[in-house]
Amino acid sequence: MSRREFLKLAAIGGGALVVGGVARQVYNHNGRDFQPARAKAYLESIQASLTPETLPNIIIVLCDDLGSGDLESPAISTPNIKRMAFEGVSLTNFYASASVCSPSRAGLLTGRYPVRTLISTPLLSTDNPMNIVMDVLGRYSYDVQGIPKDEVLLSEVLHRRGYHTGLVGKWHLGGTPGYLPNDRGFDSFYGALWSNDDTPYAIYRDRQIVIPAPADEDFLTRNFTLQALDFIQSNKDHPFFLYLAHAMPHFPEHASPAFQGKSGAGLYGDAVEELDWSVGQILTTLKQLGLDDRTLVIFSSDNGPWMQGNPGYLRGRKLEWFEGGFRVPFIARWPGVFPPATTTDGLSMNFDLFVTCAQIAGAPLPQDRIIDGKDILPLLKGDAPSPHDTFFYYDTRTLVAVRYRNWKYTRLYLTDIAAYWPTQQGPFLFDLSTDPNESYSLLEEQPERAAELSAKLDAFEGEMKSNLRGWL
């Protein structure tokens, strides 16, 4: 090859990279429409309660990658979580708003589909080389550093109402100034900014590192639990919101020496049994402090299990859009308010918690944006059916499937059929009432129903394209 030919090819290649980079930036910036003044105006409209003694405490215990089937596995003992279910309400059709961590947490804290918040992929620490890979593959959507400042978080709402707010555990919604937990409504923070498989993995107290990387992950569940108990004790005379976001049983799994080798499910099972111990410590402390009847405790997971774990004998796992990736355990306990030992199959999602907790705290809901969540307090009390009949499944920013009542329709897309990956499979139509693990497509037998659900997907996709952020 002559020098002239080489330079010509290099110029063509460089031009292609520039064009590709520009196209990717346009794609990633399309629809972002930041409007931080909206959040400021809404939060300033919320008045602190004049009778804070009447506000109930709220605790959300969120596990990382826990499968709904893990709680029923004969290989794992979970007596405290089972006791919580016996004393409260379990939802068997409860969904994470995404099948992966950062988006699911964004949905929970904002009451909105994660794609509206622009958090559609897991966030990685600044030093993680996977950032480059994710960017090249186009998996980083919208080029955001953390949960946007125009989003309103549950912690901010409750803080304005007069709650003392604390996050213990995993944040995973931003790691730079302006996007840290203390910037987003949490009075106190003890935990990690990222997933436990990310580096450098350090433990923070508020804005300062207190355990430098690499932190000993064997003691994460124990330390997070002790910090949570200290928060409860310190705020026993004041309404509080505690978001206890455990790091386990996310890969790599860890458990303290006291729990290692205890379960019949390896280190994963040991980690789950230590989480069960943690739940027991929370419930015991509430009873000892006389806070039982004044405290709503919620237990759930951010998505289905990953490399290990039981997704409730459903098809799919974390990162997939089958039921095993999205459907997660949910237990709510509030003595004297929720009927004990109750199970309901009403459709509900983790973004319902924003609305439900805001309503419990007497806070007005935002009127300037679409809130996808609904108040499920009547459902939990047994007073009303689910306020939902539809749920949409996303893979990052791509709309993949819809559930309408008991029917689920999945577009032609990548699936879990490993031998043929990455070829596309589908579309599929499943009747989840008779086929909960999506084994038998009824597309040919029910073409009109498939067309109806396909039209729902097209309509919702059109709405999102015209108003991604959901501003009103």
Where in the sequence numbering do the catalytic residues fall? 101, 172
**Beta carbons of 210 and 193 less than 8 angstroms apart:** no
Question: Looking at the DSSP assignment, which residues form a beta bridge with residue 91?
Answer: 344
Q: Find, among 318, 306, 28, 41, the residue nearest to 145 by Cα.
A: 28
**Beta carbons of 155 and 129 less than 8 angstroms apart:** no
H or E element in which residue 461 lies: helix 447-466
> Could you identify the residue written with the tokens 């939802």?
91
CA distance 304 to 323: 9
CA distance 275 to 255: 9
> Could you identify the residue written with the tokens 């506000």?
55
Q: Terminus-to-terminus CA distance in the chain, angstroms?
A: 60
DSSP string, 141-179: -TT-SBS-TTS--HHHHHHHHT-EEEEEEE--SB-STTS
CA distance 132 to 88: 45
Supply φ then ψ for residue 244, to 5 degrees. -100, 95
CA distance 45 to 245: 29
Q: Which two tokens stand for residue 251?
A: 């890969």
For residue 399, the number of C-alpha atoms closer than 13 Å in the C-beta half-sphere is 22
Helix ranges, 30-167 (H): 36-45, 79-86, 101-110, 114-117, 130-136, 154-161
Q: Which two tokens stand for residue 3?
A: 């020098």
H or E element in which residue 452 lies: helix 447-466
